[in-house]
Amino acid sequence: MNLLVSIFIFTCLFLCMKKTYALQYLTNNQMGLIKTILRHPHKTDYMVNKISEILYQHYRYKAFDIAYEFRQHHYTQCKNIKFAELKLYASKGLLMAIKNYNPDYPFVNHMKLYVKGQLHMGLTDLHPLTILPKKVRLSKKWKKDNRKTYSTLLKTTFVGNDDYLYERNSHRCSLQGSGQFSTFAAVWTIIHNLDIEHQRIMKYKYDFYMKSIRSNSEVADLMCCSSECIRKKILYVKDEIRRNLFTHFLELTP
């Protein structure tokens, strides 16, 4: 088969697609034409890109259906995750499946593997904050061997306004003077204005009075990164605190 014939087949396929609604799956004949083009050694980038677009348009709703079934099957883990966010991971899985598609295999089965894989990644990324590191939540063996511990530690940790923490500690501060309490309250207000990652690091590392409650190594395990990375991020937060407080503010404990 020469290049001219390949282009002819592609043209016929493209004209056929215009009459097909994107909600419908491709017929066996249409998929056969697509596979013929993808196998051809003289296929062009334009042909491949157009085929990728056609596959995405006709199978994105299939990917969304898989995401919906995934959310129903994992309802407990997904109840605080918006379905729109899961659809994004499903779309990513579909795009990856199209990019890596081998025309010698059925496309739908191939696509399901990638979509489900990305949905599991999304469940790990989007799960509400817990003190369990990502690598532990991904380990089936660890969860099986530590069922009780896993259930206890999987409780959601909310990162937000800590007024309740200020109130709980106010009676202690009153013994030391209201000025000191106001200073620490101001420090945490600054921290709450930073991005979520820096907030988590500071809450893992320090208590309300900025006394260290975990080592950098322990925080690194919780955040799934290196101790050096944690050290640099804490230094960044401290610089932000110093810039936003009076110059005579006492130095934070390293």
DSSP, collapsed to helix, strand or coil, labels residue 228 as helix
Nearest-5° Cα angle at 244, 208 to 197:
55
Whether 254 maps to a domain, the answer reads no
Using the 3D structure, point to which of 126, 150, 174 is the last residue of a domain.
126
Angle, helices 216-223 vs 196-205, to 10°: value is 140
| pTM tops 0.75, yes or no | no
Whether 180 maps to a domain, the answer reads yes
Same-domain check for residues 96 and 185: no
Q: 34-68, pLDDT tens digit by residue?
A: 888 888 888 888 888 888 888 998 899 999 999 99
| pLDDT above 60: residue 140 | yes
Whether 184 maps to a domain, the answer reads yes
User: For residue 17, which of 75, 71, 58 has the smallest C-alpha distance?
Assistant: 58
Whole-number Cα distances in Å, 135 to 38, 130, 149: 38, 12, 15
Whether 212 maps to a domain, the answer reads yes
Whether 13 maps to a domain, the answer reads yes
Query: Would you give the DSSP letter of residue 206?
Result: B
Instruction: Please give the residue that has the higher pLDDT: either 1 or 222.
Output: 222
Same-domain check for residues 167 and 216: yes
Q: Quote the number of domains for the chain.
A: 2
Work out the number of other CB atoms within 10 angstroms of the CB of residue 87: 18
Q: 178-217, pLDDT tens digit by residue?
A: 456 667 777 888 888 888 888 888 888 888 788 888 888 8
Length of the chain: 254
Whole-number pLDDT of residue 29: 82
Work out the number of other CB atoms within 10 angstroms of the CB of residue 131: 13
Whether 151 maps to a domain, the answer reads no
Same-domain check for residues 115 and 177: no
CA 121 to chain centroid, in Å, comes to: 7
Could you tell me which residues come within 8 angstroms of residue 55 by beta carbon, excluding any fewer than 6 positions away? 26, 34, 98, 101, 107
Using the 3D structure, point to which of 68, 99, 126 is the last residue of a domain.
126
Same-domain check for residues 122 and 7: yes
Q: 65-98, pLDDT tens digit by residue?
A: 999 999 999 887 788 788 888 999 999 999 999 9
Q: Domain residues for 95?
A: 3-126
Whether 76 maps to a domain, the answer reads yes
